[in-house]
A and B are shown apart, each in its own frame.
Chain A
């Protein structure tokens, strides 16, 4: 018996011991970046219009969303605030509630993003805008996708 064993020939297997670490790293990345949708859509998912002159909304914590669209088997445009269908008159309470959650100095920066379906009537949007004007929430953003405007009228 020799003191020195002959070394095994062949390729050593790649160690998978660090695989969990890599996977965990990815996992944490996704866990941190994931934004769980806070509101469930009660209206039909709005088809947003397309536009070219768009701006990105920075600082999402300052944005409150108003959804406008149709509800299944019902006529007319419906407005969704948080996770329920609401009336135009409720818009102001919704904004007040949003303001409560922000410090005083951020209030003028608050933006209201209107996510409205392409087939909505302008009248509904105007009513919302009028409500927003009444309570001095003047920064708004018509949510649109990037694309050709001619697609909106087809």
Chain B
């Protein structure tokens, strides 16, 4: 019997098929990166919690956003969003008095602050509290904008201090850290800067 050749399968259209699939996946792929403002919620307090210690009014920076999205700072000045950042930074950086004791040391002045040292404003960055009050009817956009600006105020101050101490901005250090997570000096520097300007933003329950 004559030996019959097995006909080869024509692979010429393979590329076409693969292209078709490729285009399908190209179209369906979404390469979105998720970004956002990260916050940590305060832990739920038991009902029988003792009253928290009273804070001096001058150490609290109250930002109120009402249902018409107007922003009121310290209960007296109306402000647009772009002003909040500087105003908050001014408040945090004031350094008008003694701070909370750090690691059991004596309460000390803030020697890295460059603020006005106004006795009527905050004592120390670790005492300065920013309180954000909102209304249930406030729009989320405004709320996020204000949050962003408040976080931004801290970032500005941290950047400034970091530039002065290490010649690198704080944001850059954070970026470097995500590239080399095991760098101990970097970690130390970041936590030091964080400790100098601790982020204390409190969100009050919204008014009804």
Contact = CB atoms under 8 A, between A and B. Distances in A.
- Are A and B co-members of a single complex? yes
A113 B205 contact: no
Interface of A: 16, 19-20, 23-24, 26-27, 30-31, 33-37, 49, 51-58, 60, 63, 68, 111, 113, 116-123, 125-126, 129, 132-134, 136, 138-146, 149-150, 152-153
19 contacts: A23-B15, A27-B21, A54-B35, A56-B33, A58-B178, A118-B141, A119-B139, A121-B140, A122-B136, A123-B206, A140-B41, A142-B144, A144-B37, A145-B35, A149-B81, A149-B82, A149-B149, A152-B144, A153-B69
Contact of A152 (B35, B135, B141): B141
Nearest to A135: B44
Contacts of A143: 34-36
B30 interface: yes
Most buried by A among B37, B135, B139, B205: B37
Counting contact residues on chain B (CB < 8 A from A), the size range is 35 or more
Given A56-B34, A139-B40, A144-B35, A121 B141 contact: no
Contacts of B15: 16, 19-20, 23
B59 interface: no
Nearest to B42: A133
B148 A149 contact: yes
A123 B141 contact: no
B180 to A, nearest CB: 15
Given A123-B136, A126-B206, A49 B141 contact: yes
A10 to B, nearest CB: 22
